[in-house]
């Protein structure tokens, strides 16, 4: 198993995109990138901690490649929005890839270059260290699956997941 750590705005959207993909063992919401350990959701949402909302993905590289994981990532969010995704604004919603090894870093840089031609604006996704990686509180785990009719989920998460699942239907179980 290997691990990928990605931030693409609200972690409910990103986490949901990786559920039911062949080769993904787990996708958990979390926080990383800030200067101090163990922040809470409220602290991260304040924008003052320096952490991003991220998703920690455990996957089997014999079944799914890191490049394919990045394809999902660049499909489920808009990597051209600096420190935001739609109405979610702040550095905690930044687009970021936190490689766990040198090969992932090389793949991430190549993916940014490859996907750049698919957007009208420059990609602002950062490559950064997963400092103070913390798993989010349990009530965030599988949030969309448990709350599909909640306002934000129905209006934002659901349409994003429908888009990625339609475009990349061959990846899903």
Question: Residue 30's beta-bridge partner residues?
Answer: 54, 135
Question: How many Å apart are CA 168 and CA 88, to the nearest integer?
Answer: 25
| 117 exposure class (CB count in 10 Å sphere: 0-12, 13-18, 19+) | exposed
Question: How many Å apart are CA 79 and CA 121, to the nearest integer?
Answer: 9
Task: Output the CA angle 8-161-128, nearest 5 degrees.
Answer: 15
Rounded to the nearest 5°, which phi and psi values hold at 172?
-90, 150
Q: Catalytic residues, which ones?
A: 10
Nearest partner of 5 among 113, 123, 135, judged by Cα? 135
């Amino acid at each position: 198993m290997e691990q990928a750590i990605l931030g693409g705005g609200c972690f409910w959207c990103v986490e949901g995109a990786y559920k039911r993909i062949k080769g993904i063992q787990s996708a958990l919401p979390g926080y990383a990138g800030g200067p101090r350990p163990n922040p809470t959701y409220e602290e991260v949402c304040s924008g003052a901690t320096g952490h991003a909302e991220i998703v920690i993905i455990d996957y089997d590289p014999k079944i799914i490649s890191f490049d394919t994981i990045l394809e999902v990532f660049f499909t489920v969010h808009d990597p051209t929005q600096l420190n935001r995704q739609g109405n979610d604004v702040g550095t905690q919603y930044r687009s970021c890839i936190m490689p766990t090894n040198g090969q992932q870093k090389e793949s991430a840089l190549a993916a940014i270059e490859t996907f750049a031609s698919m957007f009208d604006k420059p990609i602002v996704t950062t490559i950064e260290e997963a400092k103070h990686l913390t798993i989010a509180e349990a009530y965030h785990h599988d949030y969309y699956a448990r709350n599909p009719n909640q306002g934000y989920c129905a209006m934002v998460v659901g349409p994003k997941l429908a888009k990625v699942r339609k475009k990349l239907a061959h990846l899903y179980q």
